[in-house]
Amino acid sequence: MRGFAKCVALGLIGAAVASDVHQLTKDTFASFVEENDLVLAEFFAPWCGHCKALAPEYETAATTLKEKNIALAKIDCTEESELCQEYGVEGYPTLKVFRGPENISPFTGQRKSDAIISYMTKQGLPSVSTLDKETIEGFKTSDKVVLVAYFAADDKASNETFAEVANGLRDNYLFGATNDAELAKAEGVKQPSIVLYKTFDEGKDSYTEAFTKENIEDFIKVAAVPLVGEVGPETYGGYMAAGIPLAYIFAETPEEREELAKEFKPLATKHKGAINFATIDAKAFGQHAANLNLEVGKFPAFAIQKTDKNEKYPYEQAGKLAIKDIGKFVDDFVAGKVEPSIKSEPIPEKQEGPVTIVVAKNYATEVIDNDKDVLIEFYAPWCGHCKALAPKYEELAALYSSSELSKLVTVAKVDATLNDVPDEIQGFPTIKLYAAGKKDSPIEYSGSRTVEDLAAFIKDNGSHHAEAGEPETVELRDESEMPEQAPAATEVADETVDHDEL
Ligand SMILES: *[C@@H]1O[C@H](CO)[C@@H](O)[C@H](O)[C@H]1NC(C)=O
Ligand SMILES: *[C@@H]1O[C@H](CO)[C@@H](O)[C@H](O)[C@H]1NC(C)=O
């Protein structure tokens, strides 16, 4: 027992001296978020690489934010599994903002110290700061992107609309407002207007149209993004959520990327608001080229992705990027004249086993355009959980192989690493049921991966409510038929998603 006591004591001393991050346990957590008005909590595991990378950034942020009465805490989920479960932690690290124990929101900023400081500082401010001639200049340059609304003191409608927009986007940008007519005049805008100040490109953008929430949000979406940005773990999510296609410029060196960013600027300006353009480090993220149906290793390269449908439009890889030709390609893309490239294995000549093999080219007929309840597994050859499921899945499929049941139920699988599927797949295996007559709203299976539970799921949630047939003896597929391991870089997720892999 003495040894134990010593460890704890040393731990406490260490924490007090070296760190401004509070390590919490299930005994201290509740009172901590009660006593501190604003807390950022990191749920982590000691073995997680992204957590290790975050640690020094988190420390730096904690020290700065301490002065603003914002507390940073961490919870080791390997020791506090109950606490982590209670807060729905599914991957590491998970960061959450607590304003008291009830008001919790996900941290959606980047995981760098300055980004954490900027994000949490915004959390501590009112969503719109009221500005005057003393404060406005400093405010304009206080973050990468800052918005200031200029409206009249009696213009309640504009005030309210702007406040609504700010409430929704306060995690991302700083919002200020002033009703001083002199300040509007000095800025050269009429009331009501909004000016977005930024540290890149033209430096600012003005919005002078009617004050509606939707139009203002659309304006911000376009104006706040650099003309030619950079895709990386920190920005990828934002680009995917932007709702417009993303054009990738792959290049291996920073010099080359900078050069290309300059060359692409006119093109990006021309398509501003319709397509986002960004460079990507082909040395670090070259494997991502494969996801866009580009050949990995042949850089520089260019491709457009329709992010909402995951359609890819790779540009022919000819060794260099001729801007003029690419301009034409992009115009054709916008005009709908370019066909998406679809990666697919060949359609199997014959379905041999009880599990129907789906590939991109027969996806529509096998999964969507029929009157069957289709259960489909999206798998990756390298995924251990998928391999463990395989024999049970065969067994399940065999239960529906009679001539009657096979008219009602298909049990299928698709190698999602070799086939472009329209579904957004977060991890492997993903199992979904496309019930007859409801193909536009598939149900994802989240139960245990047993034959009985899967059969109950098909019966309960399928339109035909088909009861599984008698088990037959099935010949199991030989494991060695599995394709070889995919390169590790494409291991997007296997059960626990480490959040920001590309
Ligand atoms: C907007 O309305 C709020 C609430 O009435 C008020 O406190 C604030 O000063 C107004 N903003 C400006 C810039 O007039
Ligand atoms: C049917 O689907 C719902 C929604 O996903 C799920 O909660 C339920 O457990 C499913 N039924 C069975 C028997 O699995």
The SS3 assignment for 247 reads strand
Fold (topology level) of 228-334? Glutaredoxin (3.40.30)
Contact predicate 123/71, CB 8 Å: no
Contact predicate 282/289, CB 8 Å: yes
Cα of 37 to ligand 1 centre, how many Å?
24
The SS3 assignment for 308 reads coil
Residue 141 CB–ligand 1 contact under 6 Å:
no
The CATH architecture that domain 15-122 belongs to is 3-Layer(aba) Sandwich (3.40)
- Distance of alpha carbon 110 from alpha carbon 71, whole angstroms: 18
Cα of 399 to ligand 2 centre, how many Å?
19
Residue 410 CB–ligand 1 contact under 6 Å:
no
Q: Using CA positions, which residue lies closest to atom 13 of ligand 1? A: 178
- Per the structure block, which two tokens stand in for 201? 């490109």
Q: What is the pLDDT of residue 293?
A: 92
Which of 7, 77, 84, 383 is labelled catalytic? 383
| 41-to-69, 95, 117 alpha-carbon distances in Å | 14, 6, 14
| Block residue for tokens 């001393």 | 13
Burial of 7: CB neighbours in 10 Å, binned 0-12, 13-18, 19+: exposed
Cα of 408 to ligand 2 centre, how many Å?
19
Q: What is the pLDDT of residue 157?
A: 97
Q: What is the pLDDT of residue 21?
A: 96
* Residue of 457, 459, 467 with the most ligand 2 atoms within 8 Å of its CB, for mutation: 457
Please give the full DSSP string across 259-290, using - where no structure is assigned.
HHHHHHHHHHHHTTTT-EEEEEEHHHHTTHHH
Residue 178 CB–ligand 1 contact under 6 Å:
yes
Q: How many CB atoms lie within 10 A of CB 261?
A: 20
- Distance of alpha carbon 301 from alpha carbon 289, whole angstroms: 8
Q: Which residue ranges of the chain lie beneath pLDDT 50?
A: 1-17, 474-502
Q: CATH 3.40.30.10 region(s) of the chain? A: 15-122, 126-223, 228-334, 356-490
The SS3 assignment for 414 reads strand
Q: How many CB atoms lie within 10 A of CB 413?
A: 23
Q: What is the pLDDT of residue 36?
A: 95
- Per the structure block, which two tokens stand in for 114? 């300055």
Contact predicate 385/429, CB 8 Å: yes
Q: How many CB atoms lie within 10 A of CB 252?
A: 15
Residue 81 CB–ligand 1 contact under 6 Å:
no
- Distance of alpha carbon 462 from alpha carbon 160, whole angstroms: 47
Residue 417 CB–ligand 1 contact under 6 Å:
no
Residues in contact with ligand 2 (CB, 6 Å cut-off): 443, 447, 456-457, 460-461
Contact predicate 343/420, CB 8 Å: yes
Ordered strands of the 373-379 beta sheet: 356-357, 409-415, 373-379, 430-434, 443-444
Which residues on adjacent β-strands are paired with residue 302? 249
Q: What is the pLDDT of residue 23?
A: 96
Superfamily of domain 356-490: Glutaredoxin (3.40.30.10)
* Residue of 461, 463, 465, 467 with the most ligand 2 atoms within 8 Å of its CB, for mutation: 461
Q: Using CA positions, which residue lies closest to atom 10 of ligand 1? A: 159
- Distance of alpha carbon 458 from alpha carbon 373, whole angstroms: 8
Any residues with CB less than 8 A from the CB of 298 and at least 6 apart, and which?
317, 319
Burial of 161: CB neighbours in 10 Å, binned 0-12, 13-18, 19+: buried
The pTM is what? 0.57
- Per the structure block, which two tokens stand in for 110? 């980047």
- Per the structure block, which two tokens stand in for 279? 């460079």
Cα of 129 to ligand 1 centre, how many Å?
9
Which-ligand-closest: CA of 462? Answer: 2
- Distance of alpha carbon 71 from alpha carbon 61, whole angstroms: 10
Query: 126-223 — its CATH code?
Result: 3.40.30.10
Polymer length of the chain:
502
Question: What percent of the residues of the chain are helix, what percent strand, and what percent coil, each to the nearest 5?
Answer: 35, 20, 45
Active-site residue, 84 included: no
- Distance of alpha carbon 190 from alpha carbon 213, whole angstroms: 19
Burial of 251: CB neighbours in 10 Å, binned 0-12, 13-18, 19+: buried
- Distance of alpha carbon 421 from alpha carbon 168, whole angstroms: 32
The SS3 assignment for 43 reads strand
Contact predicate 257/230, CB 8 Å: yes
| 268-to-215, 227, 316 alpha-carbon distances in Å | 21, 6, 19
